[in-house]
Structure 1
């Protein structure tokens, strides 16, 4: 029943063991073998069944507690959590026939929202950024000071495209470890993942072309498509499993697709992750049709299970997937260090990077590379995943407790944003405006689709510390939602 992943164990033995244990119990809960209120095996019982240590079993139960699946009762053991019915209700996937249409979300609307949420003094639950207290600030500052002192010329001079060779080697090594065949020469360093995606879209498309995307998806990706004059075909994005390969197949048959752009490892905003078998099928479908896939994998390393999500690129035998990522969500949003990996298009991407912004800032590249060399990044990721899982679970509970009946909350499997479906009578834009007046920044759902769906959805950032101010803010949001009913 409990199987260990030997490939993963070679990298992180204890991590692989507790994850395997947790996933085994999670499956038993999902299929109904263990029901709400049931007592799960004791620590000693599970240790005897699996052959793992008490420490490993305790880590597995702690992980399930973070996910909100089990609860500890003093002197009684662990029990499947008896969650209210609302927790089991997920936001509904909006299905519609794919249509060829330009983005209807105007730049003015996005600018208006960003202007509002950027006002000083707001409790920030809108931007998908990690709070400084969750980042290794002291270590990064120390590295920055040492680099400027030790390497002033390299730190403060141009570092031309494709970027710092040592950093490109490190990125290629990390991707190779999760099944992506990569070498340093395949990598171009960019100013964050958005620049990488922008470079790919500009290279692969022309105004009037059609881009295949999921819905909901990150609104900045829609803005890039609109800026490039592209039409968008949207595929329904299930809040658990992501897009359906059959929908990809139908879209290819019905439309002349120039490129696809997917965020399927802990999608922003739903937190969903596409199963590996589905990823393989999607890549096969797109490769057969000679359609390039731009993969935004910015959240891939922060899955709550502790196992790195497999990129689309790992299944790409034709070298048509352009893999984009960044350290903005895991290490520091302000450093703005991202990348795009593609052997087929490396030279053209490097040239376009040079003509777009000449070079990515030198000091941030050196800081990230030095931090990776210290070995601190893996320790930081383990702690960050745990903190984010705890925060997402706690904020989810508060939303379901404080918001009106009929509210549904996604169950992210990674990342740190929370997708919330409100009762249909609630206008999320009006709630956004009233929240800002109360000193709280949220993100209205209308931004996350090309045709302005999700009028009664909002997205909250959970990469924040739990404080009395946050607890009160969630209570206030619940009252605002109730008032709008």
Structure 2
């Protein structure tokens, strides 16, 4: 235990995890070697059983250990020391996940869980809704009432795509003021980031065929639903608390895909049929990924954030391998560190080149070269009832009428998807944002959510100790509550017990989380009684697991 004695402030379960990883790195523990049983390890280390369960569980989810039926835990074949570039911001162990790209499928329980999350009879700790009793929200509905009177004479009118010019200019001005240089004519308004993603994916399906879309795992299940509903294949990419998407794992995946393409080219070298340009449509079935959906800020559900270094690396990898990026900025405005640029910001700063060369020596024209499309929403920062989000296209694609995914194509898709939106809501939102009230609201709510998250974390940590894992949150109001002492059946029971206690949560398996846990919404923790019921139910579940 000498390697952990100088870390008295580090949680005891993490001291054990750190020591075991160090022994793997130095060869004291080798791939395939069995570890002591949970109870034996507790006796050897002088730790509680819950601490050992948590340490083993997190090492397993990180790819360092594998659980073998009737044999316990053993060192994974791919166990290796983590790189500093992918280390989590908080104290949780970093993950070095063996390369695996399983296809994902949406779980039916998601529908039931979301129904509970929207039940007004339950404390809404499941749905990702912001604080609704805020001055800016109250002013929004005063404006809505005014605009409704003005539009009462035209009940059949729509705010046709791409949406109200006043609202697009207000959003663009707001984003530009905060360092995200945007123009109103590059924005398409929609009913939320989810619909924006679906419109893009639908256009890809029509023009490129079935694509391989990388998504974060764990990650928001709505992204998976959008990918699969539009006929694409979802590829899981490991994602960590603290540091977000595992860029190392992404690089390995893309490099292996490149090697496979090279092998196929060499095999077909004697054929006379010419090679086609490396666009996503004609390389289908060959490339590791055609596109990637990523949340660089305020990851849902783990709360992580990509560092500036990882953002740069991600963009370079995407360009090198021809991968289109959809940047999910749904919670980005609520990031506690507003200095980090968005992927679109970095992409726009890059000097345009007349052509790009792929790793296989093929040339892509600027129209074929991959880029970044950003989707955002006012639903998570202001009010979900506003039903307003936006798609931000690179300027080249927004003004080029013949671009594969240009503004005109999205306008047609949005029009076919419901004609448009309510003009009175667009008018109210435009006035609220242009007045500066929305910007002040976001600034105020960042401070408010930080305090509520801190209260939630302190309360759960004090009551549950090593039985709960609460990774650091980079912004927003969602908190991952890891419960390593519970198995899948126990987590399902806990979810039901919380419902019986009048509390809606979302269980981790909906997000494809390897380790058991819940996603909690600190924005809706507005009374001590709800927090007390939550803590009591969690404590009882953990005590039941120990029995």
Distance 1:179 1:130, change over 3 A: closer
Q: Secondary structure at the match of 2:384?
A: coil
Deviation of residue 133 (structure 1)?
1.8
For 2:426, the equivalent position in structure 1 comes to 365
Aligned match for 1:383, one of 418, 421, 444: 444
For 2:504, the equivalent position in structure 1 comes to 441
Looking at structure 2, the residues matched to 373 and 155 of structure 1 have their Cα atoms a distance apart, in angstroms, of 25
Map 1:65-214 to 2 at 5 A.
90=91, 95-106=96-107, 108-134=108-134, 136-153=136-153, 157-205=157-205, 208-214=210-216
For 1:28, the equivalent position in structure 2 comes to none
For 2:251, the equivalent position in structure 1 comes to 249
For 2:262, the equivalent position in structure 1 comes to none
Aligned match for 1:311, one of 342, 345, 348: 342
8 A contact 1:117–1:126 mirrored in 2: yes
Say yes or no: does 1:302 pair with 2:334: yes
Say yes or no: does 1:278 pair with 2:278: no
Q: Secondary structure at the match of 2:374?
A: strand
Deviation readout 1:44-68 (Å, 9 max, x if unpaired): xxxxxxxxxxxxxxxxxxxxxxxxx
Distance 1:185 1:309, change over 3 A: same
Deviation of residue 207 (structure 1)?
6.4
Looking at structure 2, the residues matched to 228 and 376 of structure 1 have their Cα atoms a distance apart, in angstroms, of 37
8 A contact 1:89–1:408 mirrored in 2: no
Q: Secondary structure at the match of 1:166?
A: helix
Gaps of 5+ in 2: 1-5, 11-88, 258-286, 353-369, 398-405
Q: Secondary structure at the match of 1:470?
A: helix
Looking at structure 2, the residues matched to 247 and 96 of structure 1 have their Cα atoms a distance apart, in angstroms, of 7
8 A contact 1:214–1:243 mirrored in 2: yes
Looking at structure 1, the residues matched to 94 and 132 of structure 2 have their Cα atoms a distance apart, in angstroms, of 33
Looking at structure 2, the residues matched to 92 and 442 of structure 1 have their Cα atoms a distance apart, in angstroms, of 25
Aligned match for 1:238, one of 232, 237, 240: 240
For 1:471, the equivalent position in structure 2 comes to 531
| Larger-Rg structure | 2
Deviation of residue 151 (structure 1)?
4.6
Distance 1:293 1:365, change over 3 A: same
Map 1:339-354 to 2 at 5 A.
339-342=390-393, 343=395, 344=397, 345-354=406-415
Looking at structure 2, the residues matched to 330 and 117 of structure 1 have their Cα atoms a distance apart, in angstroms, of 18
Looking at structure 2, the residues matched to 272 and 303 of structure 1 have their Cα atoms a distance apart, in angstroms, of 10
Deviation readout 1:261-302 (Å, 9 max, x if unpaired): 001211111111111232122112112222210111011111
Distance 1:326 1:370, change over 3 A: same
TM-score normalised by length of structure 2: 0.68
For 1:462, the equivalent position in structure 2 comes to 522
Q: Secondary structure at the match of 1:322?
A: strand
8 A contact 1:193–1:326 mirrored in 2: yes
Distance 1:479 1:143, change over 3 A: same
Q: Secondary structure at the match of 2:380?
A: coil
Distance 1:295 1:89, change over 3 A: closer
Say yes or no: does 1:407 pair with 2:475: no
Deviation of residue 92 (structure 1)?
5.2
8 A contact 1:429–1:455 mirrored in 2: no
Looking at structure 2, the residues matched to 436 and 454 of structure 1 have their Cα atoms a distance apart, in angstroms, of 23
For 1:19, the equivalent position in structure 2 comes to none
For 2:50, the equivalent position in structure 1 comes to none
Deviates more, 1:464-473 or 1:336-345: 464-473
Distance 1:216 1:471, change over 3 A: same
Deviation readout 1:196-215 (Å, 9 max, x if unpaired): 01111222246642111222
Number of residue pairs aligned between Structure 1 and Structure 2: 397
Q: Secondary structure at the match of 1:269?
A: coil
Gaps of 5+ in 1: 1-31, 37-87
Distance 1:137 1:186, change over 3 A: closer
Looking at structure 2, the residues matched to 346 and 266 of structure 1 have their Cα atoms a distance apart, in angstroms, of 28
8 A contact 1:404–1:482 mirrored in 2: no
Q: Secondary structure at the match of 2:417?
A: helix
Say yes or no: does 1:329 pair with 2:391: no
Distance 1:321 1:386, change over 3 A: same
Deviation readout 1:52-103 (Å, 9 max, x if unpaired): xxxxxxxxxxxxxxxxxxxxxxxxxxxxxxxxxxxx9755566533434332
Distance 1:390 1:126, change over 3 A: same
Deviation readout 1:412-437 (Å, 9 max, x if unpaired): 02011001211243432221112112
Q: Secondary structure at the match of 2:327?
A: strand
Looking at structure 2, the residues matched to 119 and 338 of structure 1 have their Cα atoms a distance apart, in angstroms, of 24
8 A contact 2:505–2:520 mirrored in 1: yes
Looking at structure 2, the residues matched to 178 and 288 of structure 1 have their Cα atoms a distance apart, in angstroms, of 30
Looking at structure 1, the residues matched to 501 and 181 of structure 2 have their Cα atoms a distance apart, in angstroms, of 50
Deviation readout 1:447-484 (Å, 9 max, x if unpaired): 112xxx43511110111243132222222232333244
Distance 1:105 1:386, change over 3 A: same
Looking at structure 2, the residues matched to 193 and 282 of structure 1 have their Cα atoms a distance apart, in angstroms, of 21
